[in-house]
């Protein structure tokens, strides 16, 4: 009886030992090497044919409502969307077409050209009333979303990149041509900083865009800045493409 | 007795065998980092945790019920669970498993005569201290009597504590009594530093669909919402006496600081400085000032103003981001985050902005500094040795510059905040899933990591004395 008890006990302890060994021998995750931030999107050395993706969400809207175009490309040095003009290699843009529209994206790179399309179907609102705010001319909203574009930043940086300067110039030209428009520049960050630091970084990005517009002759009185830090991402994937889309200075009409 | 001895002998033999086997195994999994491992004996900074914790037995309290009274069963269970958890997580005791206790468990002090103590001091319990007592119900009231005895036989006065509590017969009251009694025990045996049983943690949760400020007991119980903006509310800070709460809200359309009296529930006046960004509030130790970050020009800078935001004094004048001030509770020096060197790093300056020096040297990005209650240690999140965004919690002994890493690469670990007793840290981590940020606590040696939240995602915790 006594020896049976001891044997049972020994078996249990052996089991525990095995579990303990397993835990002790489980490989510990090796810390990754400190890497520098991924470089900004550069033209590819090998001329691979570009790829392009474009979608509209929602694909169907009532007149006066907005749909969001979202696109991404690879291997492209120049990307255009019909009626929107030159755009970043990936991004999002709100559109408010007044009639059904097919948006065509053309991605051009050293490896050739690729295109993608997305259609936004516009339906008439039900009943005699419309959803368009009566106080503002809807065509001004359309013009704004079609012409004013998002500025993108490098990781933990707030200076306006060289490849973003033409876009900023385009925004300045549009605002100069519409002197009554006021804008909010929202500063956003990718998910990798602390919440608080990103509030500061987003603020600094928005202010950098405001300063750069000032240098192009747009009065600071027309511009309000607002930092959202990492609180309002446009995507939540864990890769450089998504992080780049989130590191942005986004324009809104100030109402 | 013979039976038990054979079991122990068997156990000891097998453990010895296991130890021999372990030491003879080739050491393949040596961690590659050059930093100290999580062994209290190796940590070369004063973390207030004893190297040789007291061996503590905590007997389940006995329950008694007067005629026509509420059942004490549920109340006693809450009491026993809470008392055990408080003492086990205190960091100052080595808890003796209940399975090793003698059969005869005392309820009243007179039930533990000197000869009976030996049974607790001897193997297998081998306890140095014993906690026991009773929970009784009388009508709709409950009474608790709790005792702490030194059972080593070295003391001429074995009874160290005898406490009596009475309250309504409610589980919540039972929890509070257990916290108070645990605080007494920890205060007595933990070098005079009071326990944290009644401390609370403020944090941000998105569980309602919007980020709001929430509060919970230090052990995760009683989670409830403080703000109801249905907007975006971030970064709570609480005054040292636990009477005032500050946070950042987008309610007005700008990023602004709000201050709330936790005693009246009323919003207090705060004059925001920057036209757009006002954030990262932090109360001075006396509660009369608030440090914060605001941008009047293109750069965010750190200011120190009255608790109403009046009379702000600008402390930094650097390009870029200057944010996350934390004021040392003893000498008022301010730790903060700045991008002045090119990316986020932690700096310390005097309370007038002078004498600035960088704390985080040697790669990576460092954010969210937090001073310990005794002002000696600075905890912060650092990516040193890891990819951008993969923060770990580090603690630095600020006078000597010694450093210890408390978390090791399990996702992002950031925003540490010290418990009032300086023995614990609360922090935000996504170790349970990249898109699953939750609030965790751990001892200041990196052990006993516990998740406190699970509903929605939860962020930026700060520990409050009450």
CA distance B258 to B19: 57
The b/e string for B397-431 (b: 16+ C-beta within 10 A; e otherwise) is bbeeeebbbbbbbebbbbbbbbbbbbbbbbbbbbb
CATH match of B200-464 with 1.10.1660.10: no
User: For residue B298, which residues of chain A lie inside 8 Å, CB to CB?
Assistant: 204, 207-208, 210-211
As annotated, the residues of chain B forming the CATH 2.120.10.30 domain(s) are: 200-464
CATH architecture of A49-131: Sandwich (2.60)
Could you read off the pLDDT of A39-65 as tens digits, one per residue?
A: 333 333 457 788 888 988 888 887 777
Instruction: Give the CB-side neighbour count of residue A152, counting CA atoms within 13 A.
Output: 19
Q: Within an 8 Å CB–CB cutoff, is residue A35 touching chain B?
A: yes
What is the complex's ipTM, to 2 decimals? 0.89
Taking CA atoms, B414 is separated from B215, B424, B454, B458, in Å, by 19, 15, 17, 12
Structural domain boundaries in chain A = 49-131, 148-255
Do residues B466 and B201 make contact, with C-beta atoms less than 8 angstroms apart?
A: no
CA distance B414 to B425: 11
From CA B353, how far away is CA B325, in angstroms rounded?
Answer: 11
Q: Are B59 and B155 in contact (CB under 8 A)?
A: no
Gap from A128 CA to chain B (nearest CA, Å): 33
Helix (H) or strand (E) holding B23: helix B2-24
Strand partners, B337: B323, B346
Among residues B457, B374, B463, B454, the alpha carbon closest in space to that of B415 is found at B463
Query: Start-end ranges of CATH 3.40.50.10070 in chain B?
Result: 51-189
Min distance B56 CA to chain A CA atoms (Å): 25
Report the residue count for chain B.
Answer: 466
**Residue burial A54-69, b: 16+ Cβ < 10 Å; e: rest:** bbbeeeebebbbebeb
Which structure tokens are listed for B241?
């006496």
Q: Which pLDDT tens digit goes with each residue over B426-463?
A: 999 999 999 999 999 999 999 999 999 999 999 999 99
Q: Would an 8 Å CB–CB cutoff place B368 in contact with chain A? A: yes
A199 at B interface, C-beta within 8 A: yes
Residue B397 and residue A136: Cα distance in Å, rounded? Answer: 60
Strand ranges (E), A96-246: 101-109, 112-123, 151-152, 183-188, 223-229
CA distance A221 to chain B (A): 12
Distance of CA A116 to the CA centre of its chain: 19
Distance to chain A for B24, nearest Cα, Å: 12
Comparing alpha-carbon positions, the chain B residue that sits nearest to A7 is B10
Superfamily of domain A148-255 in CATH is OmpA-like domain (3.30.1330.60)
What's the rounded Cα separation, in Å, for the pair B376 and A64? 60
In angstroms and rounded to an integer, the radius of gyration of the C-alpha atoms of chain A is: 26
Q: Which CATH number fits domain B51-189: 3.30.1330.30, 3.40.50.10070, 3.90.1150.10, 3.30.540.10?
A: 3.40.50.10070
Nearest CB among A30, A31, A199 relative to B255 is that of A199
Cα first-last separation, chain A: 87
> Which residue in B229, B232, B236 sits closest to B215, CA to CA?
B236
- Measure in Å the smallest separation between the Cα of A85 and chain B Cα atoms: 30
CB contact under 8 A, B323 and A37: no
Cβ–Cβ gap B365/A193 under 8 Å:
yes
A window 44-83, beta carbon within 8 A of B: none
- Topology alike, domains A49-131 and A148-255: no
Contact of A156 with chain B, judged by CB distance below 8 Å, is answered with yes
Rounded Cα distance, A3 and A117, in Å: 80
Helix (H, G, I), strand (E, B) or coil at A224: strand
Look at A194 and B388 and tell me if their CB atoms are within 8 Å: no
Query: pLDDT of chain B along its 466 residues, tens only?
Result: 344 344 333 333 433 333 333 333 333 333 334 344 457 777 778 888 999 999 999 999 999 999 888 899 999 999 999 999 999 999 999 999 999 999 999 999 999 998 899 999 999 999 999 999 999 999 999 999 999 999 999 988 999 999 999 999 999 999 999 999 999 999 999 988 889 999 999 999 999 999 999 999 999 999 999 999 999 999 999 999 999 999 999 999 999 999 999 999 999 999 999 788 999 999 999 999 999 999 999 999 999 999 999 999 999 999 999 999 999 999 999 999 999 999 999 999 999 999 999 999 878 999 999 999 999 999 999 999 999 999 999 999 999 989 999 999 878 999 999 999 999 999 999 999 999 999 999 999 999 999 999 999 999 999 999 9
A201 touches chain B (CB under 8 A): yes
For residue A158, give how far its alpha carbon lies from the nearest alpha carbon of chain B (Å).
8
Output the CA torsion A134→A140→A143→A144 (10° steps).
-90
Angle between helices A2-25 and B2-24 (to 10 degrees): 30
Q: Do A35 and B234 touch (CB under 8 A)?
A: no
Q: Where are the beta strands (DSSP E) in A178-235?
A: 183-188, 223-229
Give the pLDDT score at A29: 42
Q: Judge: A31–B381 Cβ closer than 8 Å, yes or no.
A: no
pLDDT given for residue B27 in this prediction: 34
Chain B residues in contact with A205 (beta carbon < 8 A): none
């Amino acid at each position: 009886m006594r020896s049976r008890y001891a044997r049972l006990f020994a078996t249990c302890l052996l089991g525990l030992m095995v579990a303990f060994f397993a835990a002790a021998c489980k490989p510990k995750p090796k810390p990754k090497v400190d890497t520098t931030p991924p470089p900004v999107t550069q033209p590819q050395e090998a001329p691979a044919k570009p790829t392009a993706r474009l979608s509209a969400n929602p694909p169907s809207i009532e007149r006066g409502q907005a749909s969001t175009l979202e696109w991404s490309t690879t291997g492209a040095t120049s990307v255009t969307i019909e009626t929107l003009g030159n755009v970043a290699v990936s991004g999002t843009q709100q559109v408010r077409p007044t009639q059904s529209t097919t948006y065509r994206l053309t991605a051009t790179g050293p490896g050739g050209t690729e295109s993608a399309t997305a259609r936004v179907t516009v339906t008439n609102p039900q009943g005699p009333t419309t959803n368009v705010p009566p106080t503002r001319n809807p065509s001004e909203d359309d013009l704004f979303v079609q012409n004013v574009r998002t500025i993108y930043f490098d990781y933990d940086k707030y200076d306006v990149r060289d490849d973003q300067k033409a876009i900023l110039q385009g925004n300045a030209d549009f605002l100069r041509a519409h002197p009554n428009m006021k804008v909010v520049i929202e500063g956003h960050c990718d998910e990798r900083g602390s919440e608080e630091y990103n509030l500061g970084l987003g603020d600094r990005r928005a202010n950098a865009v405001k300063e750069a517009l000032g240098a192009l002759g747009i009065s600071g009185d027309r511009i309000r800045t607002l930092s959202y830090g990492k609180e309002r991402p446009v995507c939540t994937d864990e890769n450089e493409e998504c992080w780049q889309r989130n590191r942005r200075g986004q324009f809104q009409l100030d109402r | 007795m013979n039976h038990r001895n054979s079991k122990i002998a068997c156990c000891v033999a097998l453990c010895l065998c296991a130890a021999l086997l372990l030491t003879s195994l080739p050491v393949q999994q040596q961690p590659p980092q050059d930093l100290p491992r999580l062994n209290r004996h190796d940590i070369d900074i004063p973390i207030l945790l004893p190297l040789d914790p007291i061996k503590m037995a905590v007997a389940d309290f006995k329950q008694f019920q007067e005629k026509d009274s509420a059942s004490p069963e549920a109340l006693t269970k809450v009491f026993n669970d809470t008392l055990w958890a408080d003492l086990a997580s205190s960091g100052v005791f080595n808890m003796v498993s209940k399975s090793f206790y003698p059969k005869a468990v005392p309820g009243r002090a007179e039930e533990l005569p000197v000869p009976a103590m030996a049974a607790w001091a001897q193997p297998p319990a081998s306890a140095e201290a014993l906690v026991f007592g009773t929970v009784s119900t009388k009508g709709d009231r409950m009474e608790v009597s709790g005792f702490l005895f030194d059972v080593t036989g070295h003391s001429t006065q074995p009874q160290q504590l005898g406490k009596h509590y009475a309250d309504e017969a409610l589980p919540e009251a039972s929890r509070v009594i257990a916290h108070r009694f645990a605080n007494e025990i920890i205060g007595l045996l933990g070098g005079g530093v009071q326990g944290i049983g009644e401390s609370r943690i403020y944090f941000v949760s998105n569980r309602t669909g919007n980020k709001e400020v929430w509060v919970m007991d230090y052990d995760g119980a009683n989670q409830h919402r403080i703000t109801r903006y249905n907007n975006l509310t971030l970064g709570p800070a609480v005054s040292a006496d636990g009477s005032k709460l500050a946070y950042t809200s987008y309610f007005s359309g700008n990023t602004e600081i709000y201050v709330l009296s936790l005693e009246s529930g009323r919003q207090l006046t705060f004059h925001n400085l920057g036209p757009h960004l006002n954030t990262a509030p932090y109360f001075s130790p006396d509660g009369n000032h608030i440090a914060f970050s605001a941008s009047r020009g293109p750069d965010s800078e750190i200011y120190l103003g009255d608790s109403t935001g009046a009379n702000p004094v600008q402390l930094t004048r650097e390009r870029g981001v200057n944010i996350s001030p934390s004021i040392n509770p003893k000498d008022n020096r301010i730790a903060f985050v700045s991008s002045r060197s090119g990316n986020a790093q932690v700096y310390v300056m005097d309370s007038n902005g002078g004498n600035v020096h960088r704390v985080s040297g040697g790669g990576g990005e460092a954010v969210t500094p937090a001073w310990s209650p005794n002002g000696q240690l600075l905890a912060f999140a650092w990516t040193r040795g890891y990819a951008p965004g993969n923060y770990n919690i580090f603690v630095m002994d600020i006078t000597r510059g010694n450093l210890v890493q408390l978390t090791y690469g399990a996702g992002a670990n950031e925003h540490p905040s010290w418990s009032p007793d300086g023995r614990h840290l609360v922090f935000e981590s996504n170790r349970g899933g990249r898109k699953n940020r939750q609030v965790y606590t751990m001892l200041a040696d990196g052990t006993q990591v516990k998740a406190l939240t699970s509903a929605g995602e939860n962020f930026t915790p700060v520990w409050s004395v009450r």
